[in-house]
Chain A
């Protein structure tokens, strides 16, 4: 078969491979609690609530339309009622993103030859921003990528009904898509299409944007979520921001031309050899979305690692197709065209391997595999929470707890404020269970609050929560019970640990020793005894490694003294009894009898290893880590 006679099979094969692999990766992430933000949980819970007659999103504490106008969730709800799992959303997302390659292929095939069309479609499937988006939670805008691609296909095929249907579907995914409809209408005027191609999108876009952004969303949000805060550099509200953009272009330009934005644009356009710039009018259609992200104060929006490129990708790729067509008017010989084909494919592979989500996927898969032990524990904790209980949890637990009416993200309690808001977090009426991973850096670092320690204590007290179980810094709290395990105790009297160390840490703290006991076959409890020499306001992070001569894994990281009583608040001369439980790795490399654990301490102020002065050098390994033998 000659390359010119290629039918659609190769592109379908590429789509199936893409959708299947990313679905599998997403499921693996889900199974191993790797989704560590709340976007997937928000949409899953919203869908669960819709199927149970409510529009309320307890995580944001608003009707979900107050956050984003994602009416598409109403269309997805019947399917969610059947599948009843966030996994459905993850597979849907991978499928939709893969499927978008098909209209792209059809557009390219119509203008170029099948081989180039296939190369552009493969380039799309290998596109770094696409892979990251696919693996970062679930977002309805990912579905918009597919709808917009079909919309553009029907636009160029001159099929108005198809165009309208997919424009509408895209519009339902998020309110900002309406801006694209407006510019799409203007573009139709520019290329002298029939008036209906311009009037309907412009009118529908303006109306929808106004109603959604200025009426419905504020009505339901009631000031809880302030998206306008993202443009505080342009004005105090959206109106002022629009005014600044219109009246002060020099200032806006200075905001746009910053290294972060340029790098973002490089990552978007270089995988396509800047071909989209050869079709600027179509690329300009996505201008409002580019402005939205490039002017935002939220740096995540200028990164390909998240989902913010979803609405841009269709326009970038279809512009690239038209760019290639223009290029082929100059490079019209077969040799030259083959060079472009090779170039496109090489750049796509280089981009995917060096910048893409799959570049280090094997490392990630290894890490997820190593997380199996802890995933089992996490799953066990979740199984102990009744289906109808009201739960607050840290990020990684949210997706698996999302099929319930009352679910809360713990970071709100810790921070004390709503997300993207200056409004104090409104405490829910009741919390039956709390599932908190105290080693979760997203909660405790990214949402760090000086009031954090107090907020946690208030939270536990307010809802009368007691520790039901505790392993690897994950604490399961239940309402109305006494603590089964005391995470920390402050003692005035001297105690004699089972294993005496008397080790000075940065001259600030003394590790007097530790007790060790086996809780179960693969869980050990280690109780450290710390004595504060002087209070320096510095916290210490402990890293526990397995130690068996050849291979070393990080078993757990923890705040010494726990998040409830960290070293920064200790008083001089007090003895702190600090209890932790660690899951021993079930790896084939780890031999419990032959090894033990290693403790590494990090000074959180200097972010360097703490200087340890042992009373006996044999307490440390040759690398200076503290040995904790299991026997």
Chain B
């Protein structure tokens, strides 16, 4: 019976993962997909030297080893897929669905250790907008999460039952997680903390997987020293280790809280329970005061509209309130205390760690999402008791709906760059001229693929009759002052969509993929808007 239930649960997870991925398999390559594809192509040329190439970044040719700050596990996987099946959006997105499936499955097993609602936990992870949007890209964040979850769940099972085979496997997963993104290194701290919490000492059971994982990571560093004379981790850290002001750190923490509130909407369902209790209702009002204060501050300092400030504060208040209730329950209730502390520390650790890196984005909450979801489900079990089923079904449905809505908005946005490159850029190409572009992300990938040239700072190579195409939103360096004197605006292209959600706007200060463009921090991952998705300006060189 238990085996049958397991098979049914896993089948539901796999079906769910496929159903949430299939509609988006033709999504254009997007944001940092491009950078990972460049590493992939380099791996195909020279598998031992993944960063030995130059890339145009903000108008300058830079050495990839110094500026592409992520390790290459994802690109190696992509290279393998491309080598066997060829390069296309459909092929790579289907290949990356493997990580979605793994995330769902490992989440199921991890949740099983802490709650009776393991299937719900897994579905909440797969349906949350933060996860769903990222699973439609080939950035290694979902791959990281799957390996991270694999490492932790295998570690916990191996540790609890003293099964060394599982612990060895956990070590391999942890090591691979650190090669998907360097933030994967945090998995070792979480594993060690779990071991300490259980036994108050570091035993062989904890040392084996950590040692193995570290061995994989240091193996990669040794490769870097041989090939590049220094570890990539340190080269990449130059980018991350910038001076952060206290305000910047807090702005990141606030942004992360906002992302949690806006992309894990299932918390709202718990409000229905807690607001019935007079004490929790009063506590909610007090936390709302914090939100109100925060709204006023960001309205004053960062030029958000009153409505936006209110929405941001609302998104921030929800997780704050959730954490508050959680902390109260841990203080008051000895039941599951160790487990709750473990999950709470996991979540807080990732939250604080992410606040200290160069910028944050929705993808940075992925690593804390499993702990958060399990805690939520635990709380839901406590509060709804036997009546949990209808509530939880509605919660999963609403979360899935929001996941699809935001994924669709991002899908429409991603496709704009491919569409422009294929349909419109060609209009300006003649046999005598060059069409230049200034802009990164998916736009760079498609423009370069079609043979257009990336604009360089100096602009010395530009000739009369050439064209420059600049998208407004995609990160780019505006033509320099000297170049501006030589250009004339030729055409403007605006891409619209009636779908009322947007995942990026510079003028309105929201962005799913970063909280920082220029010096103004952003706190919103998406927003309700019918403003154009992107605008392309085409300039002609006149002298």
Contact = CB atoms under 8 A, between A and B. Distances in A.
* Chain A bound to chain B: yes
Interface of A: 266, 270, 273, 331, 333, 335-336, 338-340, 342-343, 346-347, 349-356, 358-363, 366, 617, 620, 622-624
A5 to B, nearest CB: 15
Interface string B213-253: 00000000000000000000000000000011111011100
A620 B246 contact: no
A273 B293 contact: yes
Contacts of A339: 282-284, 286-287, 324
Nearest to B479: A622
Given A270-B293, A343-B289, A623-B481, A359 B283 contact: no
Contact of A622 (B290, B296, B481): B481
Contact of A333 (B279, B324, B459, B483): B279
Interface of B: 243-247, 249-251, 254, 279-280, 282-284, 286-287, 289-290, 293-294, 296-297, 301, 320, 324, 327-328, 331, 457-459, 480-483
A343 B247 contact: no
A625 to B, nearest CB: 9
Given A338-B327, A338-B331, 4 more contacts: A336-B283, A353-B246, A362-B244, A622-B459
A266 B243 CA distance: 30
B481 A346 contact: no
Contacts of A343: 286-287, 289-290
A286 B331 CA distance: 40
Contact of B482 (A331, A338, A349, A624): A624
Given A349-B250, A622-B481, A624-B481, A338 B324 contact: yes
Nearest to A266: B296
B293 A347 contact: yes
A588 to B, nearest CB: 13
B383 to A, nearest CB: 14
Closest 10 CB pairs of A and B: A339-B283, A353-B250, A359-B247, A622-B480, A339-B286, A624-B481, A335-B279, A360-B245, A333-B279, A343-B286
A620 B279 CA distance: 67
19 contacts: A273-B289, A338-B283, A338-B331, A339-B287, A339-B324, A343-B286, A343-B289, A350-B290, A353-B246, A354-B297, A354-B301, A360-B245, A360-B246, A360-B247, A361-B245, A362-B244, A362-B246, A623-B480, A624-B481
SS of A interface (majority): helix
A353 B296 contact: no
Contacts of A617: 482
Contacts of A347: 289-290, 293
Given A333-B279, A338-B283, A338-B328, A622 B293 contact: no
B481 A353 contact: no
B313 to A, nearest CB: 11
Nearest to B244: A362
Contacts of B284: 339
A119 B293 CA distance: 18
Contacts of A350: 250, 254, 290, 293-294, 297
Contacts of B320: 346
Nearest to B457: A622
B248 to A, nearest CB: 8
A171 to B, nearest CB: 36
Point out which of B247, B254, B287, B324 has the most chain A C-beta atoms below 10 A from its C-beta.
B247
Contact of A335 (B294, B328, B457, B458): B328
B481 A363 contact: no
Contacts of A273: 289, 293
B280 A335 contact: yes
B291 to A, nearest CB: 9
Contact of A336 (B245, B279, B327, B459): B279
B246 A359 contact: yes
Contact of A342 (B243, B247, B294, B324): B324
B480 A363 contact: no
B367 to A, nearest CB: 23
A356 B459 CA distance: 44
Contacts of A349: 250
A551 to B, nearest CB: 13
A622 B283 CA distance: 57
Nearest to B321: A339
Contacts of A353: 246-247, 249-251
Contacts of B293: 270, 273, 347, 350-351
A340 B245 contact: no
Nearest to B331: A338
Contacts of A340: 286
A361 B297 contact: no
Contacts of B245: 359-363
Contacts of A351: 293, 297
Contacts of A359: 245-247
Contact of A354 (B247, B279, B458, B481): B247
B84 to A, nearest CB: 42
Point out which of B244, B254, B284, B293 has the most chain A C-beta atoms below 10 A from its C-beta.
B293
A267 B480 CA distance: 41
A363 B482 contact: no
B276 to A, nearest CB: 14
B519 to A, nearest CB: 11
B171 to A, nearest CB: 37
Contacts of A361: 245-246
A333 B459 CA distance: 69
Contacts of A620: 482
A336 B458 CA distance: 62
A336 B328 CA distance: 10
A532 B457 CA distance: 34
B243 A363 contact: yes
B266 to A, nearest CB: 22
Nearest to A3: B331
Contacts of B297: 350-351, 354-355
A617 B459 CA distance: 13
A347 B250 CA distance: 12
A623 B290 CA distance: 44
Contacts of A624: 481-482
A149 to B, nearest CB: 25
Nearest to A339: B283
A623 B481 CA distance: 5
A355 to B, nearest CB: 7
A359 B320 CA distance: 22
Point out which of A335, A339, A356, A359 has the most chain B C-beta atoms below 10 A from its C-beta.
A339
A359 B280 CA distance: 32
Given A270-B293, A338-B328, A350-B290, A362 B482 contact: no
Nearest to A263: B300
B222 to A, nearest CB: 28
B525 to A, nearest CB: 20
Contacts of A360: 245-247
A343 to B, nearest CB: 5
A363 B242 CA distance: 11
B460 to A, nearest CB: 10
A270 B244 CA distance: 25
A550 to B, nearest CB: 10
B282 A331 contact: yes
Contacts of B251: 353-354
A623 B477 CA distance: 12
Nearest to A359: B247
A102 B180 CA distance: 50
A140 B297 CA distance: 31
A350 B296 CA distance: 11
A183 B4 CA distance: 79
Nearest to B250: A353
Nearest to B325: A335
Given A335-B283, A336-B283, A359-B246, A346 B290 contact: yes
A347 B483 CA distance: 48
Nearest to A366: B243
A38 to B, nearest CB: 29
A354 B286 contact: no
A610 to B, nearest CB: 13
